[in-house]
Amino acid sequence: MRRVVYTGIAVLSLSLLSLGETPEKVAPCKLKNDPGAYNHKLVEIEGFISHGFENFTLFDPNCPYSPEIWFDYGGTMASGTIYCCGPSDARNRPKELVVDRIPVPLTDDDESHVRDDLDYGASPDQPDLDKLGCGTFQGLQSVPSTRAAFDIQHRAEAGKDFWVFDDPKSVAVGFLTQNLRIDQSRISGIVERKSRGRVVYQWQPPGKAETYMVVVSRPYWLSFYAEDETKVAWIVIAAYKSCGD
């Protein structure tokens, strides 16, 4: 099994269930569509890992997220996944993992690829209602899907809307003008908060109670599908309206 050190999301190749034989390479979509066909077989899968609250799953952006492939480490390493009513956040188990009487070891090859310009987060930010002083928010429509993210990347690579490689603010403002059907000139005083590979924009229209929040990301996984891995598009991954009707 090949493990990659990661924060939130990582690319992964893994082999499961037995040693001493050549694994069968299986695409995540094929595995999730017919899991029984690979029961007690050694398989190798390449995809991405998403790790967050009540979430430790393997996925491939090219196939639907549902049903999800739940994941765990072999050997004595535990995932530390936190559940509301289940296992603790422990990162170790007392004994090596055994599934159906088959030991599942873990080999750590100590590979790590972390870039400062990419977003490794497993989930988007949400509005801080305590700071906003209200109790409700709702998601805005038209947040790009995974397929749409591919289209945005490929369109920029073709020379159209190439500014999405370098201008996250314009991505956020463009999203607001399209969804709220207003002129760009009306959006002023927008506030930004930056982290690695992610920018959160917040805007309150003058004289209005509502506040809008747009989360823009350069997703780690998208770099694997870019013609040039140093050029990854900024994508809206979440957007909200708070404190309004």
Q: What Å distances lie between residue 123 and 51, 76, 107, 153, 160, CA to CA?
A: 9, 27, 28, 20, 28
Better pLDDT: 211 or 68: 211
This prediction's pTM: 0.75
The more confidently predicted of residues 99 and 12 is: 99
Residues 38, 43: Cα–Cα separation, whole Å: 8
Other beta carbons within 10 Å of 50: 21
**Which uninterrupted H or E stretch holds 100?**
none
Least confident of 98-107, 150-159, 178-187: 98-107
Given a contact cutoff of 8 angstroms between Cβ atoms, the answer to whether 51 and 81 are in contact is: yes
Length of the chain as a residue count:
245
Work out whether strand 55-59 and strand 69-70 pair parallel, antiparallel, or are unpaired.
antiparallel
pLDDT value for 1: 24
Mean pLDDT of 138-148: 87
Kindly state the tokens that stand for 65.
């997220």
Confidence of residue 171 (pLDDT cuts 50, 70, 90): very high
- Taking the C-alpha atoms of residue 34 and residue 29, their distance in angstroms, rounded to an integer, is 9
pLDDT at 8 over 50: no
Q: pLDDT band for position 52 (50/70/90)? A: confident
Q: What is the pLDDT, as a whole number, of residue 118?
A: 95
pLDDT at 6 over 60: no
pLDDT for 18:
44
DSSP for 103-154, please give it.
E-------EE---TTSB--SS-----HHHHT-S-EEEPS----HHHHHHHHH
Q: Give the sign of the dihedral formed by CA 116, CA 118, CA 122, CA 128.
A: positive
Query: pLDDT (tens digit, 9 = 90+) per residue, 90-124?
Result: 888 888 888 888 888 887 766 666 889 999 987 89
pLDDT for res 43 = 84
pLDDT average, residue stretch 41-69: 81
Q: What is the mean pLDDT of residues 72-88?
A: 79
pLDDT computed for residue 25 by the predictor:
87
Task: State yes or no: pLDDT of 73 exceeds 80.
Answer: yes
